[in-house]
Amino acid sequence: MVGIFVGVTHKPWFDHLASLHPADVNFWQPSGSGEFKALRPGDLFLFKLKAPWNAIAGGGVFEHASLAPLSLAWEAFGEANGNQSLGEMRSTIAKLKRVRPLGDREDPVIGCRILTQPFFWPVDRWIPTPANFSANTVVGRGYSTDQPDGLALWREVQERLAATPAAPQVSTGDRFGRPTVMRRRLGQGAFRLAVTDGYGRRCAVSGERTLPILDAAHIRSFASGGEHAVSNGLLLRTDIHKLFDRGYVTFDSELRFAVSERLKADFDNGVHYYAMQGTTLARPIAGFDPPSSEALRWHRENAYLG
């Protein structure tokens, strides 16, 4: 069984993203209240354009939902939020909420639905809105492939994806085989937000909670073959992240923080970091993959200056 959510959106948002072809997108809502629980990771999220188009024009693979400050959403996704600039996104939020223009220092919480492998169809592949999708629906509606209407919608999507270049994998077997959740492949933005939320927005070593100085760090660097995957990520304070990337700190086989003697030798400093020696790496919260032991071993053997 696969869940499907048909989310209502504006055509300018869709058009901007269709011109970018991003690796992942943030389907956001201006209100930051309430959690989105309609889908599981790997389920299908579809874009339904408002009137006068009233059609499903694309979608993506659902990865993660978050209530995040605007600053974090922009840092993670940039134009993949469907806006050309942070200023434009602020204006869009104000218009949708029907409030005064937001000040440059205001940082409202917005609802984020993180989608990977997005697809944007040309007009001739658009799917008519399902007959039971009410014209008064503001946010969207959920379907399931264990119900006739959901299965019919799944098959229409599958037919179109078969003709879509670089489309996400939607199922195994024949064209109308049993629906299965989609294969997930995160981009940088999805990685950033998922790791940040996975570690409860706290540095996995120091416990620091000041969001602007927390980074989603790759354990095995992307340039060295590491993936954008939560299991290959750690949330680290910016200074610790830099030392980790440069090999001055790592984690031993017991997941304890280790600081290289090279830090003292190279900079005649590092007292603050040696004081954290032996600190146990925090684990991600329930529902998020723990750090890969293989990736941590790679870092010890290939990056660490011990």
Ordered per-residue pLDDT tens for the chain, 306 residues:
899 999 999 999 999 999 999 999 999 999 877 789 999 999 999 999 999 999 999 999 999 999 999 999 999 999 999 999 999 999 999 999 989 989 989 999 999 999 999 999 999 999 999 999 999 999 999 999 999 999 999 999 999 998 876 666 554 344 455 677 666 778 999 999 999 999 999 999 999 999 999 999 999 998 999 999 999 999 999 999 999 999 999 999 999 999 999 999 999 999 999 999 999 999 999 989 999 999 999 999 999 998
Q: Are residues 126 and 17 in the same domain?
A: yes
Range of the domain at 237: 199-302
User: CB count, 10 Å around CB of 167?
Assistant: 15
Give 204-225 pLDDT, tens digit per residue.
999 999 999 999 999 999 899 9
Token pair in block for residue 255: 């997941």
Question: Is residue 171, in this structure, part of any structural domain at all?
Answer: no
Distance CA 216, CA 213 (A): 10
Q: How far apart are CA 23 and CA 96, in angstroms?
A: 26
155 and 205, same domain (yes or no): no
| Spatial CA neighbour of 226 closest among 244, 206, 202 | 244
Q: DSSP H helical segments within 21-164, as ranges?
A: 70-77, 86-97, 148-161
Specify the amino acid at residue 101. P
User: Of 144, 161, 178, which marks where a domain is finished?
Assistant: 161
Here the CATH number for the domain that contains residue 62 is 2.30.130.30
Which two tokens mark 165?
Answer: 């270049």
Domain membership of residue 191 (yes or no) is no
Helix (H) or strand (E) holding 166: none
The domain total for the chain is 2
The residue to which tokens 């010890």 are assigned: 300
